[in-house]
Each structure stands twice: as C-alpha cells, then as structure tokens.
Structure 1
Amino acid sequence: MRAIWSGAITFGLVNVPVKLYSATEDHDVELHQVHDKDGGRIRYQRRCEICGEVVEYAHIDKAYADEDDTIVLTKEEIASIPQERDREISVVEFVPSDQIDPMLFERSYYLEPTGKTTKAYVLLRRTLEKTDRTAIVEFALRQKTRLAALRVRGDVLLLQTLLWPDEIRDASFSALEKRVRISAKELQLSASLVKSFSGDFDPAAFKDEYQEELRSLIEAKRRAGEALDTEETFGSDADSGGSGGGSGDSGDAEVIDLMAALKQSVQKSRAAKKKGHGKGTRSGGSRGRAKKRA
C-alpha cells in the first residue's frame, strides 16, 4: 500500500504521528467503450461548445452556473482562497460510538504509526477501546476540509470520513403518510420469518456473482481466439495512466514526555471548564469551526 497523506493526530497536547492509507479497493472489472465494427477505442474529448476546438487541460478553467449566469473562476482565483493545508488530524470531541449514524460514513482509511515510538498511538487505541468512544476529528485532504470518525479496528486506528449533515437528504414519501394497520398475527409471522433467516454476519460468505461471471466470459472469449490486439484497437497509450497521491514524511513529531502532555491537557481542559467555556471550546476551537461548517 502507498500512503496518501502523512501528519499527526492531535488531542490536547498529545501528538500521534501517522500515515494515511486507503482501507478499501475496487475489484470490479473495468470495461471500455469500443466501436462494434472494429473494436476501436471510443475516447471522450474536451471540446468547447462555442468554438468547437478540442481544449488541452492546461487551458481549462472551472465555472459556477445557475439559471441566469455562468461565473468563470481561474486557477489563480481558486488558489487565492484560504485552504487548510496543515498536517493535523484534530480531535474535536470523543462521543459514544452508538451515536454515529452509519449513513454518515463515506470512505475508510487505515492509520499507520510513524516516528521513533508507537506508545502514543497504542495509548490512544486502548483508550478508545476502554471507553467505548469514537473520536470526531477534522483534517484537510486534497484541499478539502473533512469531518471524520476515528475508531479502532483490530490493532489499527481506522479513520472514516463523514458526510456533512446537509449532504444527507430527507426521505419524504407520500405513500408512508397513509395509516396502515398491522395485526398481531401478521407481526408474529413476520418475526418468525426473520428468525428462520437469522445468523451471524460473515462477509466472506458472500460473493459478487456478476463480476465472477463477467471474468469467466472474458476468459472464455480469450480461449476461443476472439481477442483483439490492444495496441491496434486502443492505440499505444492504452494503459498510460499515472499514479498519484504519494506523500512524504512529515518528520518526527514525537511527544517528549507523554505523561506530562496528558496531565497538561487534562489540567487545561479543567481550567477551561471552570472559566465557563466547558462545552463551547475544544482544542484550537475546532468544534466551533465544525458547527459553523455544518
């Protein structure tokens, strides 16, 4: 696996250096569009609808369009907007794990400890396990502010990005507004049906039958001699895709005295509560920013 981000988890004065890795991957068979006559590759071109020219990526800007106007934004203008480029995964708060709606989960990432010692990493992992809490965090990835849940999976810390609240649609269906009567007998029979299908969930027991059949079909056509020469039909640059997202080390950001950092963080938190700022403040004002964005 290749790290796509490096930085540190921060909560209070504790600093946990980590690297970020994608925890999932897509195994679907990739299919291309081709001409049914000769198998030639069909490619999309970036063509301007005004002048009809095919435009190179270097000459493409972005724009916002509504019913009345189109506002073109140049690369320089977009770059001038302040962006969060820091390398911190800032803990906003620790919440009961069952309070997070699974619908909010987006993508999953593994966090690998880096630096000279894994003590702070293991301490955070064990603390989350013991308290049955999930850390709500903020960080920036690919020039976009993310809200995420930090939890434990086995011996590894798992980071799962969350959708912002306004990205979840409300479900309102007129059919459900009608009153429906369910008899006790119907409910009993339905419960019996559920019981007959009951079991412990094992993901390994399931398979993607469509993808397996698709691979079998491809191999059968290959054995039957129905394969075409890729260079002749797709061109010599058929597989000239690039790789991206590499990330360098952020350096050793070790906590010199972990116990001292923990004690100072606790004292700082208690002092803030005594001053009446308790629930309204978190490390670096992160929670305030989260509410504002939400």
Structure 2
Amino acid sequence: MRAIWKGAVSFGLVNVPVRLFSATENHDVQFRQVHVKDGGRIKYQRVCSIDGEEVPYSDIAKGYETADGQMVVLTDQEMKSLPSRSSKEISIEKFVPADQIDPLLFDRSYYLEPDKTGLKPYVLLRDALEKADRMALVTVSIRTRMTLAVLRVRDGVIVLQTLLWADEVRQPEFDFLSEDTQATDKELAMASSLVDSLAGDYEPDEFEDDYSEAVEALVASKIEGGEVKEAPAAPAEETEVVDLLAALQRSVDKAKAAKSGGTSTSEIREEAAEPAASSGKQGAKKTAKKAPSKKAPAKKTTAKKAAATSTTKKAATKRKAS
C-alpha cells in the first residue's frame, strides 16, 4: 500500500505522527465502451453545447448552475481565493459514544500507521479508545478541504472514517410513513420465529461476488476460443490531411498574392510542398510512437524492406548492364 497523506493526530498535548492509507479498494468489473464491429475504443470530445466547437482544457472553467438554470462561471483564480485548509493535523475535538454515530454518515475509510517515533502514543490512543468504547470525533483536511471524521479501532489498527455532513443525508419522505399500519401480535410472533431460525454470525468469507467470477470466466472462455479483436492503431492520415489542408490554404493565399504582382508560381509550389512533406514525416513519427508493437505489422515492414532491397539490386544490375 502507498501512503496518501502524512500528518499527526493531535491528542491533548501529544502529537502522534501517522501515515494515511486507503482501507478499501474497488473490485467491480471494469468495462470499456468499444465499437462492436472492430473492438475499437470509443473516444469522447469536449464539445461546447452552444457553438458546437471542441474546447481545449485551457479554456475549461468550473460552472455553478443556479436553481433557475443560469450558469455562473468561476475561474481558477477565483477558486484559489476560497477558504481552504492544508493542515497536516488530525485534531481530536471530543470522544463520543460509538452508538451516537449513525452508520449512514460514514463515507471513506483509511488506516492510520504510526511512525516509529510515534508508536508509544499511538498504542496509548488505540487502547484508550477500546477501553472507553467511544469514537474520537476529529477534523481533518484531506486534499485541502476540511471534513469531519471519527477514529475507531479495528483489528488493532486505528481507522479514520470521514463523515458526511448532516445536510447531505436525505430524509425519507414516503407516503406509507403517515399511514397507521401495525402488525398483529400473531404476525409479529411468526416474524420473530423466522428471524430466530435464520440467526447467525457475520462471516465475510461466506459470501462471494458471483457476478465478477462469472464475467471473468466468460472472458477467459472467449480468449481460449480465439474470440479476441485487436483494434488497429489510429491511422496517421488524419494528421497528414490537416497539415495538407493547411499547406493548400497557404498555396491559395500565395497564388492570390502572385496575381497581384507578388511571388512567382514556381516559388509558391516549392514553399507549399515543403510544409506538406515535413508534416507527413512528423505525423508518421508521432503515429509510430503511439502505435503499440504488433507482430503482424513487423512482418509487413520486414517484407517491405526486403522488396525495397530487391528492387534496388535489380536497378543496380540494369545500370551495370547498360
């Protein structure tokens, strides 16, 4: 694991140097959107909804949409002026009973590992939390924004769990809550009997993600059956066409200037040809860097070189004969 944050837990007059590690990881199956015909990856462009033009990252800002649909644009400079915290301190505000924190408020979980110099106070804080059966309510700044969190102990390690703000939890507003519906004593007794019959302890290893396993098995069977598509590298013609159009536009502009007594026609052709030729080489070089190495293209390239060598030898033979 790699530490994502370094700081210290402020425990009264004691500081405990710690490192923060993500306690969880996502094992969901990740899919890519591809063209069903050839397996090519689908790409997206950042296009303005008003003028339809593609927008570079340098021209993208943050926008806040108001309730009536208006857009307020916030620049990077304005965002930097907002209050933020970059403190490297986990400040304990109070110790609260564990049952007072609704699990619905829990957001992200992190492990706290002590530095060697902070091992003793770390163990002291850990044991005090376990003995008191309380959680430490703390404030912490992760990625510049201050948030609430709690410290609790799990398997001998102090865990920091960030909390949602109170206004981020939705209130259930369902019609059935206003209805006066009650279960009868007989129904409740039967339900309690069912609960008792299914009672047991939580064993994490007892349950498996059968969906992920099924997807992996399906993918493996397709690979074994040769049902794999190798998407071809992006063609280099696109870059060359753009450069060629630019060269042609220069030719048109210079041709107009020549008619009015400027540059000669031969000079126009030479100047227009040079950018097009150089752009083609540059486009080919860029494409060669981006394109992944494949066995098939390597064979074709070898064949082309062999053919070129053969042609050169033949030409040399003809010259000697003449």
| TM-score normalised over the length of structure 2 | 0.70
Distance 1:211 1:68 in 2: 41
SS in 2 for 1:186: helix
Amino acid at match of 2:188: L
Question: Where do residues 267-278 of structure 1 align in structure 2 (5 Å cutoff)?
Answer: none
Relative to structure 1, the CA distance from residue 117 to residue 170 in structure 2 (aligned partners, 3 Å threshold; closer, same or farther) is: closer
Aligned to 1:31: 31
Give 1:154 shift: 1.3
CA contact (8 A) 2:17 2:117 kept: no
Q: Indicate the SS of the match to 1:158.
A: strand
Is contact 2:9-2:18 (8 Å) kept? yes
Which stretches in structure 1 are left out of the alignment for 5+ residues? 239-294
Structure 1 residue aligned with 2:42: 42
Q: CA deviation at 1:182?
A: 1.5
- Of the two, which has the highest radius of gyration? 2
Asked if 1:224 is matched to 2:225, the reply is yes
CA distance in 2 between counterparts of 1:18 and 1:53 reads 48
Question: What SS does the aligned partner of 1:55 have?
Answer: coil
What is the match of residue 113 of structure 2?
A: 112
Structure-1 residue corresponding to 2:64: 64
User: What is the distance in 1 between the residues matched to 2:27 and 2:17?
Assistant: 31
Following superposition, the deviation at residue 203 of structure 1 comes to 1.0
Q: Is 2:132 aligned against 1:131?
A: yes
Instruction: Describe the superposition over 1:135-158 as per-residue Cα deviations: whole angstroms up to 9, x where unpaired.
Output: 000011112211101011111110
Which segment is superposed worse, 67-76 or 24-33?
67-76
Q: Which moved more, 1:214-223 or 1:66-75?
A: 66-75
| SS at structure 2 position matched to 1:118 | helix
The question of whether the paired residues in 1 share the 8 Å contact of 2:39 and 2:231 is answered with: no
Distance 1:148 1:79 in 2: 24
**Deviation of residue 80 (structure 1)?**
1.3
Alignment correspondent of 1:193 = 194
Residue 232 of structure 1, CA deviation: 4.2
- Deviation for aligned residue 1:54: 2.0
Structure 1 runs of 4+ aligned residues shifted over 4 Å read 230-233, 235-238
Shift of 1:99: 1.1
Which amino acid is 2:51 matched to?
C
User: Paired residue for 1:9?
Assistant: 9
Deviation string, structure 1 residues 199-251 (Cα, Å, up to 9, x no partner): 00011110111111111111111111011225648x9589xxxxxxxxxxxxx
Gap change, CA 1:76 and 1:115, over 3 Å in 2: farther
State the Cα distance separating 1:68 from its structure 2 match.
Answer: 4.8
Distance in 2 (CA, whole Å) between partners of 1:231 and 1:163 is 46
Alignment of 1:1-294 (within 5 A): 1-66=1-66, 67-229=68-230, 232=233, 236=290
Distance 1:27 1:102 in 2: 22
**What is the CA RMSD across the aligned residues, in angstroms?**
1.8
- SS at the partner of 1:122? helix
What CA deviation, in whole Å up to 9, does each residue of 1:253-290 have, x standing for no partner? xxxxxxxxxxxxxxxxxxxxxxxxxxxxxxxxxxxxxx
Q: Using the alignment, how far apart are the partners of 1:29 and 1:68 within structure 2?
A: 36
Q: CA deviation at 1:122?
A: 0.6
Query: Corresponding residue for 2:303?
Result: none
Number of matched residues?
237
| Percent identity between the two aligned chains | 51
Aligned to 1:272: none
Q: Residue type of the partner of 1:79?
A: K
Matches of 1:230 and 1:203 in 2, distance apart?
Answer: 40
Give the residue type in structure 2 aligned to 1:46: R
1:113 partner letter: P
CA contact (8 A) 2:16 2:118 kept: no
How far apart are 1:48 and its partner, in Å? 1.4
- Consecutive unaligned residues in structure 2, runs of 5 or more: 235-286, 293-322
Q: Tell me which amino acid in the other structure corresponds to 1:53.
A: E
> Per chain length, whose mean CA-contact separation is higher, i.e. which structure has more relative contact order (CA < 8 Å, sep 6+)?
1
